[in-house]
């Protein structure tokens, strides 16, 4: 049993110090992932990697008791939390109060595996399309979330999801095609 799994089990049992142990153990990894995601943001970005990690961590271990099976399950939850925070941030920036008026953004093949260069409108469009994809194929949607929002490599995402790297590659090709069609871009 890994240290992460042991700590997650301790958290499930309600041991108070386990939450602090988990943060100490995974903080550097989570901060690195967040920094990678935010490194390509345009100048003037108000959300910093540290803030993204802290917000995601607070959402993960907040008031309601959580139950994670293992390290992979925790990182999948962290990717989802980071995705939601980035989407909320993009929505806030694009609200009418902040000059909204969303415009259609074309999504190229590279954008699907790295949401760093997508403007806030594109993040919102990708999020809406991912919600629809999740209704049809949750596993593929989870793969895209890990790649696009958590910044994991194909191998890392495959490990988190417990699938082979070739299966992840096939699923990502399917996701690119599906998302392109869903977002109005025909190939």
- 99/93 Cα distance (integer angstroms): 8
Q: What is the pLDDT of residues 9-62, one digit of tens each?
A: 787 777 777 777 877 787 888 888 788 777 766 666 667 888 888 888 888 877
pTM of this prediction? 0.53
Cα–Cα distances in angstroms (integers) from residue 165 to residues 15, 60, 143, 154, in the given order: 36, 27, 11, 7
Give me the pLDDT at residue 171, please: 93
The 10s digit of each residue's pLDDT in 105-157 is 554 444 454 555 566 667 788 888 889 999 999 999 999 888 888 888 888 88
Distance, CA of 66 to CA of 77 (rounded, Å): 10
Whether residue 78 has pLDDT greater than 50: yes
Q: Phi then psi for 74, rounded to 5 degrees?
A: -65, -45
What is the token pair recorded at 125? 């469009």
Q: Could you give the CA distance from residue 92 to residue 100 in angstroms, rounded to a whole number?
A: 9
Distance CA 147, CA 20 (A): 27
């Amino acid at each position: 049993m890994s240290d992460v799994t042991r700590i997650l089990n301790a958290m499930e049992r309600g041991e108070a110090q386990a939450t602090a142990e988990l943060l100490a153990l995974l903080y550097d990894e989570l901060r690195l992932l967040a920094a990678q995601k935010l490194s390509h943001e345009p100048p003037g970005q108000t959300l910093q990697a540290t803030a993204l990690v802290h917000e995601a961590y607070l959402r993960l271990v907040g008031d309601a008791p959580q139950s994670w099976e293992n390290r992979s399950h925790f990182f999948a939850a962290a990717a989802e939390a980071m995705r939601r925070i980035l989407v909320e941030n993009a929505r806030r920036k694009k609200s009418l109060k902040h000059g909204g008026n969303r415009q259609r953004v074309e999504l190229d093949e590279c954008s699907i595996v790295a949401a760093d260069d997508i403007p806030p409108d594109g993040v919102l469009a990708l999020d809406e399309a991912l919600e629809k994809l999740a209704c049809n194929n949750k596993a593929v949607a989870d793969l895209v979330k890990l790649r696009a929002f958590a910044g994991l490599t194909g191998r890392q995402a495959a490990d988190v999801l417990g699938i082979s790297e070739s299966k992840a590659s096939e699923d990502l090709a399917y996701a690119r095609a599906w998302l392109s069609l869903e977002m109005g871009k025909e190939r």
